[in-house]
């Protein structure tokens, strides 16, 4: 099977967790099983060692291992993108490690802890992009806030192929989409919704020209994630509303109870599926027992809804 091009992604995008063994090291066997299971469900790409994969908690050697396992586990069926970020020297090191490990592209995460003026942020992207031949998607989130002008500036870089938004300001994002599309000619370029539990906002993003999105849910319930994606694509409002009301909104309400649950709950759900994903690394915390019980109830409701669709198809 011919692999999709990293320049032309489609479908649900899989952001796997990074399993840790009881001794604290990356659990390579569990990671391979997790990715193999996910790829068998048909994602458009694998994004390894990114936000859901606890990029912030990995040193460069561990990161390279995670990316290499992801590349091997996908076996050429879909592109593998790897996280990248931190200080400028660190970002260059992670970019080089991702290339050594065989990644087909990078997701450039925000620099840590510093307030970034748009000019400085553009220079950061330019210097990371110049250090690697890999295609690069720029992630706008937290302290990394672009103007339409700086977004266009980095979009014109030869190996910058996409822009991902995790701010949720649709007015600003619409202006960025228009500026970039109007200023790069026929260069292949993609826009992504990178909000936590992106399904909640995807109809709004799709309306402003952002068709692709991250799906943490795909990690533990690909049948629900794919059912939602298909319903959005065919504009099945009733089906989308049912999935939002009965699964995604309750999941977000649970996620919002504790900072970091956007990762911790996903990892717990992966464990519930029989993958030995281990615990999250500090400063994240494990879900409380009452929240794990609620998580199981929410997943069961979502699966029942997705199953009812399959039964009537």
Contact, 16 vs 70, CB < 8 A? yes
CA 218 from centroid of its chain's CA atoms: 10
Q: What is the DSSP letter of 144?
A: B
CA nearest to 21, candidates 252, 243, 220, 278: 278
Cβ-defined contacts of 175-183 (< 8 Å, 24+): 175/148, 176/140, 176/146, 176/148, 176/151, 177/208, 177/209, 177/210, 178/148, 179/148, 179/149, 179/151, 179/152, 180/148, 180/151, 180/152, 180/155, 181/209, 183/152, 183/155, 183/156
Cα–Cα distance for residue pair 312/147, rounded to 1 Å = 47
Contact, 214 vs 47, CB < 8 A? yes
92-118 burial: b if 16+ Cβ within 10 Å, else e: bbbbbbbbebebbbbbbbbbeeeebeb
To the query of whether residue 112 is one of the catalytic residues in this protein, the response is no
To the query of whether residue 2 is one of the catalytic residues in this protein, the response is no
Residue 189: partners with Cβ closer than 8 Å, 6 or more residues away: 155, 161, 162, 163, 180, 181
Cα–Cα distance for residue pair 217/306, rounded to 1 Å = 13
Out of 2, 7, 139, 205, pick the active-site residue: 139
Give me 219's structure tokens. 């990690």
Out of 164, 229, 248, 261, pick the active-site residue: 164
Active site positions, annotated: 139, 164
């Amino acid at each position: 099977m011919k692999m999709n091009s990293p320049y032309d992604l489609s479908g649900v995008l899989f952001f796997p967790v990074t399993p840790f063994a009881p001794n604290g090291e990356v659990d390579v066997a569990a990671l391979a099983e997790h990715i193999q299971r996910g790829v068998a469900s048909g994602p458009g790409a694998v994004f390894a060692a990114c936000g859901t994969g606890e990029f912030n908690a990995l040193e460069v050697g561990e990161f390279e291992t995670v990316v290499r396992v992801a590349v091997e586990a996908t076996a050429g069926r879909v592109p593998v993108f790897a996280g990248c970020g931190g200080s400028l020297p660190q970002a260059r090191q992670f970019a080089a490690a991702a290339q050594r490990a065989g990644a087909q592209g990078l997701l450039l995460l925000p620099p840590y802890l510093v307030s970034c003026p748009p000019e400085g942020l553009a220079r950061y992207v330019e210097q990371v992009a110049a250090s690697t031949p890999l295609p690069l998607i720029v992630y706008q989130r937290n302290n990394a806030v672009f103007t339409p002008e700086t977004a266009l500036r980095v979009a014109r870089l030869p190996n910058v192929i996409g822009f991902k938004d995790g701010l949720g300001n649709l007015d600003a994002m619409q202006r960025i989409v228009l500026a970039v599309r109007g200023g790069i000619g026929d260069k292949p370029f993609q826009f992504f919704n990178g909000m936590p539990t992106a399904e909640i906002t995807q109809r709004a993003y799709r309306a402003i020209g952002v068709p692709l999105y991250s799906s943490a849910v795909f990690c533990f319930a690909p049948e629900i994630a794919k059912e939602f994606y298909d319903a959005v694509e065919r504009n099945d409002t009733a089906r989308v509303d049912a999935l939002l009301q009965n699964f995604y909104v309750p999941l977000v309400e649970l996620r919002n109870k504790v900072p970091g649950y956007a990762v911790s709950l996903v990892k717990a759900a992966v464990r519930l599926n029989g993958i030995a994903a281990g615990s999250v690394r500090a400063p994240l915390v494990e879900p409380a027992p009452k929240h794990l019980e609620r998580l199981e109830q929410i997943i069961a409701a979502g699966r029942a809804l997705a199953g009812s669709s399959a039964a009537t198809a």
